[in-house]
Structure 1
């Protein structure tokens, strides 16, 4: 071999070695797919004469079920050198990644959106301790406190959902991307709040969806703003817990009770959209009918008995028993189930006059207490008023009668309702 040939071969080998040395970790290279295997690609790095390997997990930022759906022999790919395999570089032992090159582009795009104050949309891929993991082209993390504008006990409901996020923190060098969905929810509600508070008025009847349940009431979503239905405004009958009668996600009709834009509060009522308890009361409780009821309140002058949800009638003390009783508490207690007979009905005044003793037989020889007529004979039941203990003139709370019963057209005069208290008052002021 001539000296010239030896020189040329040496030069060719030197050039080849030089080209191999130009491949460094972090370089972006062009690779031609030479072979497709189940878990990796074999590629030739153009301009180097060496080969590299692209593992399946380094092919894309998205999950891949079949490697042949993303690459075929002859395809040319943009790749980044991430490491060497062994020491024999001449046999092309480079580990390459297409995913990381894509990620670099994604980081640049996310950085640009962050700088511009824009949001991103990405699917939630998994739920981990402390928050959510999302695939934004790169891995993003949403702390549990930034998922919603209220506490969420079970975050698994978000898995698979595609949500909008505000970029809170970005650090590509550490693969750190912190996102917030709560910020999006709050911004949306702030805009909806302006619209709703501008048009909603007390007295309006609107539709909403039960958003949350608490021990004291239900929060109803009116389309971006939650209003509170206090437990006392859920139904006409007593409700122990809102969860006994309502469910999250349930559609409800509500009446607006009050609106307070300064405090972002809307008070609502469900029961005021329902048929009123006293509607058709003359048909439900005609005079002479017998009803089942529950003693709700006891006073000195009688017992209030609930016969329908939200409908109470008065059993005057003289209508409790055929025998004389000093106070209703002597024979009745709150919560007791009783049967009553309707004596009279006044739908306009929302008043029912009831009787318990009318459903029982009078003992033989018993002297019944009859309702006193509204006349000047106000001596009360038998006995000399002077024999009764004198009472303090200032103690009048026990003589206060509900307004709806302060009339005499039900058969009960003020004297009947006040009973002995009126006699004592007269005695004390002789």
Structure 2
């Protein structure tokens, strides 16, 4: 064996021994780190603008700039880490020189990478996550969900919210609406959660409402056919005919938006989320008071409220109207009630009947006066002819006297 071969063998043995030693100790003495690698280290020094750490299983020193510690705004690294803390991050730069072996790494980027994975999973599975409002801007809220997410004002609630400042610093439950990691874009949705919660609350309230019960509500909307009244999580409709015992021409005459009212639940349809309500039936019926104070055959004064083809409705007490049928208006034949009566006219009426079950009152105007006596006038039949024969008057005169002609 030549001297040259002997030297080479010795060098190879030394090299193999060095490699084996490195493998046994786990020390990385080569430039094995690449940008994007994940490294772990122990903090041993904290400066104003960066943190230094011993990289595990390596003779490299790790440096984390303050901007790479977190996505939150901080003044000093001590707000995030302490000495002896174990930290982990993604390599963003490698400095492997003769007198310097450093890796610059980012805790923030690793947190963001993990957060994006978690957010994508939450979106795919329609999961609810929690975030903290970091900033209020004109168009919505900036929320920390591991990365900076954004809730547009239109996706904040199912109703318009004027004051967004009330949410600053709050923890909110949200859904992931859209995510684009490459653009650092995360759109969040709180509206869907609010809607789902209200749907569940409506379902519970609908199941708890019972027909016949009296509850309090607030008038929230008025239409030509009635008023919508909010009972908490659900709205019910009080038809115009159920607003008052007196006839209501316009809904606005009976209620106003914002009024607090007592209502009786007439019917509940949970499947259609429909509730029928009555304001008048939540109050004492004026008919009951009228029934206790008056009886059939009694004569009293009333006001003509409405004229219809078949008669006239006369108000005999507040909230109590009775019908005077066209046949009960006068002893004389009446073809059309408006021929002899006017709305607003005061008339005397006699109570013909009181129906407690239907709360109906039958009235008569003609029964308050006597039937006029018929005048009998004799008919004189004359015959001016010179004929001496019997006339029709002579023959039938006595028979015609009883005829009303």
2:116 maps to: 107
> Structure 1, residues 326-354: CA drift from partner, whole Å, max 9, x if none?
6655xx66xxxx9x89988869445598x
> Structure 1 length as normaliser, TM-score?
0.51
- Correspondence list, 1:268-417, <5 A: 268-281=277-290, 297=306, 304=314, 308=318, 310-312=319-321, 329=342, 348=356, 349=359, 351=361, 371-373=365-367, 377=371
Cα distance in 1, alignment partners of residues 256 and 75 from structure 2: 47
Contact 1:53 1:93 in 2 (8 A): no
Report the secondary structure of 1:215's partner residue: strand
**Alignment pair present for 1:154 and 2:162:** yes
Task: For 1:289 and 1:33, locate their aligned partners in 2 and report how far apart those are by CA, in whole Å.
Answer: 103
Mapped contact 2:41–2:86 kept (Cα < 8 A) = yes
Equivalent residues in 2 for 1:26-425, closer than 5 Å: 28=39, 30=41, 32=43, 34-37=45-48, 40-44=49-53, 46=55, 47-49=59-61, 51-55=63-67, 58-61=68-71, 68-81=78-91, 97-125=106-134, 128=137, 131-144=140-153, 146-148=155-157, 150-152=158-160, 154=162, 156=164, 159=167, 162-188=171-197, 203-205=211-213, 207=215, 213-216=220-223, 217-218=227-228, 220=230, 226-230=234-238, 232=240, 235-236=243-244, 239-240=251-252, 244=256, 246=258, 254-260=263-269, 263-281=272-290, 297=306, 304=314, 308=318, 310-312=319-321, 329=342, 348=356, 349=359, 351=361, 371-373=365-367, 377=371
Q: Offset at 1:375?
A: 9.1
- Cα distance in structure 1, aligned partners of 2:70 and 2:151: 22
TM-score normalised by the chain length of structure 2? 0.53
**Alignment partners' CA distance in 2, 1:288 and 1:63:** 87
How far the C-alpha of 1:54 sits from its partner, in A, is: 1.0
CA change 1:136–1:42 in 2 (3 A) is: closer
Larger radius of gyration: 2
Distance, in Å, in 1 between the alignment partners of 2:265 and 2:256 is 23
Aligned-residue RMSD, C-alpha: 5.6
- Taking the aligned partners of 2:241 and 2:175, their CA distance within structure 1 comes to 38
Rounded Cα–Cα distance in structure 2 between residues aligned with 1:144 and 1:27: 37
* Mapped partners of 2:172, 2:83: distance in 1: 37
Deviation, 1:147, is 4.1
State the 1:206 CA deviation.
6.6
Structure 1: gaps of 5 or more residues? 1-17, 319-324, 354-369, 383-429
